Amino acid sequence: MVIKFLEIEDGAVLTGEIDGLQYKTAGDEDFSFLSPIMYELRVKRFEDGVQLKGTIACDLSLLCSRCLDDFKYPVRSYMDIDITQKSVMHVEDEVELKGEELDVYFFENNEIDLNPLVYEEVLLNIPMKPLCMEECKGLCGLCGKNRNHEICSCNEKQETPFGEKLKSFLALQGDSYGSSKKKNVSVKKG
């Protein structure tokens, strides 16, 4: 949704929905939208900008980082953003920005596009390591079965091909490989 800065009133409430699929690219296989992004934002207008406060909501399909199952993930988030008119600044010296100045978005040509701001808020609410459930058991490291759905007969202490290669590598390196203990170190006294 694009809003005209000069036409927006202080205290206005902006509601709507955004089709998240418009932002999908070929590399975004980690999630998909199950519903549009719904938003309700209250406007506080200033001379050269606006502050938007409100909520966004949508449902995503995420891939569990332990068992690789798809699961529904509800996004419910509070937004509080400042948007300021972009102006041409001539700064001779370096300027240090305060923390609150780093979270300011800019607009130009009297138009504020809400879509990328709302979409960014959705992205910020996706967990780095999504889990279908806290107690997810993941995949068996030997046979690859999903341990949430079936019990495998693998012995968890059984060696994997990776484990065998690591053991043989460490055997070649000797006992001191990776040790932080230095040998034959002398210390000069001041």
pLDDT tens per residue, range 19-49? 887 776 556 567 889 999 999 999 998 888 8
Specify whether 99 is located in the same domain as 14.
yes
| Whole-number pLDDT of residue 130 | 94
Query: Which stretch, 69-73, 95-99, 106-110, 180-184, has highest mean pLDDT?
Result: 69-73
Query: φ and ψ at 86, to 5 degrees?
Result: -75, 125
In a domain, 181, yes or no: no
Specify whether 161 is located in the same domain as 110.
no
Specify whether 72 is located in the same domain as 154.
no
pLDDT tens per residue, range 67-92? 999 999 999 999 998 888 877 445 56
Total domains present in the chain: 2
In a domain, 106, yes or no: yes
Specify whether 114 is located in the same domain as 169.
no
Query: CA separation (Å) from 175 to 74, 159, 165, 166, 179?
Result: 50, 21, 16, 14, 8
Specify whether 114 is located in the same domain as 162.
no
| Whole-number pLDDT of residue 8 | 83
In a domain, 189, yes or no: no
What is the domain extent for residue 112? 2-87+95-124
Cα–Cα distance, 132 to 59 (Å, whole number): 14
Specify whether 78 is located in the same domain as 159.
no
Specify whether 150 is located in the same domain as 104.
no
Specify whether 20 is located in the same domain as 71.
yes
Specify whether 76 is located in the same domain as 154.
no
The beta strand positions in 100-162, using DSSP E, are 104-107, 111-113
pLDDT tens per residue, range 107-149? 778 788 888 888 889 999 999 999 999 999 998 888 888 999 9
Burial of 95: CB neighbours in 10 Å, binned 0-12, 13-18, 19+: exposed
In a domain, 116, yes or no: yes
Q: What is the pTM of this model?
A: 0.70
